[in-house]
Amino acid sequence: MDEHTFLNKFKPEAQAVIDQHQIPGVSFGVQKDGEHIICSNFGYRHVEDHCETTQDTVFGIASMTKSFTCVAIMQLQEAGKLAVHDEVIKYLPEFKTPCDSHAAKVTIHHLMTHTSGLPPLPTNLYTRKRSLEKDPSVKDYPSLDLTRASGDPIDTAEELMDFIGKLDFKLLGDPGTEFSYSNDGYALLGAIISRVSGQTYEQYVTDHILKPAGMTHSSFFIDDFKDYENVTTLYAKRSGEVYAAPIWWDAPASRAAGALKSTVNDILKYTEIYRNGGVVHGKQILTSESVQQMIYPHVQFEPDKFYGYGLRITPDYYGSTLIEHGGGSKGVSSFMSIIPEKDITGVVLTNLAGVPAHEILLGALNVLQGKTFANRHSTPVTINIRVEDLHEFTGTYTSEEGMKLTFTIKEDKLMFDNGVTEQALQAISEQMFLDEGGSFIKFIKSGDKVERVFCGSRQIFKD
């Protein structure tokens, strides 16, 4: 498909998503065989000054950073400095959980696959506390209640481990048995990288990934771009109105979980690692064996999705493999994808939180493959559940990370309220449901009683 035909089919659909969600600026690009085939930009990096986005506009990428952290771990394994199945306490003896024997069994692999058994913890407020206290827009993030963070900020990995070690919380299960997305786990990986390499985490990634890959406009520090004007302003939303909220949040103790800033052009260079056997423009960043370990479907967390190392894997995506990861933070919604069998890579970066960047990129991949923008690679079959059997799921589920979910029954339907929207759920099994956006929600029992819910890739206990 030529670029003109593609854009005629893609741009109106993408623009509809952008308009619906009031996204100020979007930068998007797709490569085939390592060469740009489609690039498109929408809106502005700075609305008030009418500064348009480009392929070299710096955005936050948030949790897409996690795959960089895993590349660093794999490089250190190749160098013989660690092994992914080593116990974490070999490198971080301070790491503790409420059960000492549990902490002793957690491996690097468990952290990389979010299977350490750690539930969502209140650490995010403390690791970002210094930034949050300076930012007036924080009041427009309903999950962030600064009054809950009454203690000192967490600035170092050592302080983070001390904080976790003193918390009293219920573990999800033995290491390797339960998947729950954990920023804390990735913060610990950053600490391991620093201790093993003798460099700061940020410097290691810069020296061993960003520079060799030619990612010249990527950094963990916003101050590194002070002489580069093509940097997006961050935006937030209040009562349906989008406004500029320029303060970038930082969390020094957990940058390995989501602090990188980058551009579409730079991320497209980075995705070559997974398309091209670890090679980026002639530079061997990883061995092909390490790449295969990263994209292996280590743990299943949804009916058709698995987690690798810092990457989500869909093994049957229209008959190919989809490797992807997104990210979300203040003023950030990002998404990257790789389809290795078709030598296709893509990325979309935006400057507003909580918007469906993945819809834009997956829509583009659909159009590129001759499908409709909104096509889904699979459609789960819904079933009917008796109303009396829905009551066990009702109630409030609260995570220490700040998420509060309420389930009720209205007009014989199970309703889901996350504090932003309320919507009806459709059952696809006796304990698994789909929300209106197609995301999976699964209730987990302990014995005969519902104990927690899996939502937003996290396991959250019932109040």
pLDDT tens digit string along 293-342? 999 999 999 999 999 999 999 999 999 999 999 999 999 999 999 999 99
pLDDT at 71 over 70: yes
Is 304:316 a contact under the CB 8 Å cutoff?
A: yes
Residue 336 in tokens: 């990257």
**Residue 148 banded pLDDT, cuts 50, 70, 90:** confident
Residue 58 has pLDDT above 70, yes or no: yes
Q: How far apart are the first and last CA of the chain?
A: 52
Q: pLDDT class for 142, splitting at 50, 70, 90?
A: low
- pLDDT per position as a tens digit, 11-35: 999 999 999 999 999 999 999 999 9
Q: What angle do CA 312, 313, 319 make, to 5 degrees?
A: 150
Is residue 349's pLDDT more than 90?
yes
Alpha-carbon distance of 156 to 206, in angstroms, equals 19
> Would you say residue 145 has pLDDT above 80?
no
How many Cβ atoms sit within 10 Å of the Cβ of residue 414?
A: 22
Residue 196 to residue 189: CA distance in whole angstroms? 11
Confidence label for 421 from pLDDT (cuts 50, 70 and 90) = confident
Q: How far apart are CA 84 and CA 293, in angstroms?
A: 10
Name the H helices within 118-182.
123-127, 129-133, 157-166
**Could you give the angle at which helices 183-197 and 157-166 cross, rounded to 10 degrees?**
140
From CA 250, how far away is CA 245, in angstroms rounded? 14
Q: CA 236 → CA 28, 140, 352, 430, distances in Å?
A: 21, 8, 6, 38
What's this model's pTM, rounded to 2 decimal places?
0.97
What band does 227 get if pLDDT is binned at 50, 70 and 90?
very high
Count of helices and strands (H, E) across the chain = 14, 24
pLDDT band of residue 141 (cuts 50, 70, 90) is confident
Q: Is 36 helix (H, G, I), strand (E, B) or coil?
A: strand
Over residues 432-458, the mean pLDDT reads 95
* Helix or strand (DSSP H, E) at 460: strand 458-461
Length of the chain equals 463
pLDDT of residue 24: 98
**Amino acid (1-letter code) at residue 406:** T
pLDDT for residue 144 is more than 80: no
What beta strand segments (E) does 278-411 contain?
Answer: 279-280, 283-284, 299-302, 305-307, 312-317, 320-329, 332-339, 344-350, 395-398, 404-410
What pLDDT digit, counting tens, does each position of 386-417 carry?
999 999 999 999 998 888 999 999 999 999 99
The answer on pLDDT for 93 being more than 70 is yes
Q: Indicate whether 441 pLDDT > 90.
A: yes
* pLDDT tens-digit map of 203-222: 999 999 999 999 999 999 99
CB neighbourhood size of 93 (10 A): 11
Mean pLDDT score across all residues of the chain:
96
Q: Number of C-alpha atoms within 13 angstroms, CB side, residue 335?
A: 21
CB 437 within 8 A of CB 430: no
Rounded to whole angstroms, the Cα distance separating 368 from 362 reads 10
DSSP code for 355:
S
pLDDT of residue 140: 87
Q: What was the pLDDT predicted at 402?
A: 84
- Average the pLDDT over 62-78 and give the result: 98
Token pair, residue 266, equals 């730079």
Residues 334 and 321: their CA atoms lie apart, in Å, by: 20
Residue of 370, 358, 365 whose CA lies nearest to 339: 365
Check whether 134 has a pLDDT greater than 80.
yes
pLDDT at 253: 98
Which range (143-152, 177-186, 229-238, 366-375) has the least confidence? 143-152
Instruction: Give the residue carrying structure tokens 């520090």.
Output: 221
> Which residues, in sequence order, are CB contacts of 374 under 8 Å at separation 6+?
13, 363, 366
* 198 has a pLDDT exceeding 90: yes
> Where does the pLDDT of residue 2 fall: very low under 50, low under 70, confident under 90, or very high at 90 and above?
confident
3-state secondary structure of 80: coil
What pLDDT is attached to residue 147?
67
Question: 73 falls in which pLDDT band (50, 70, 90)?
Answer: very high
Beta bridge partners of 338: 323, 345
Q: How many CB atoms lie within 10 A of CB 189?
A: 27
* Tokens found for residue 146: 């600064």
For 381, counting Cβ atoms within 10 Å of its Cβ (0-12 exposed, 13-18 middle, 19+ buried), the class is: exposed
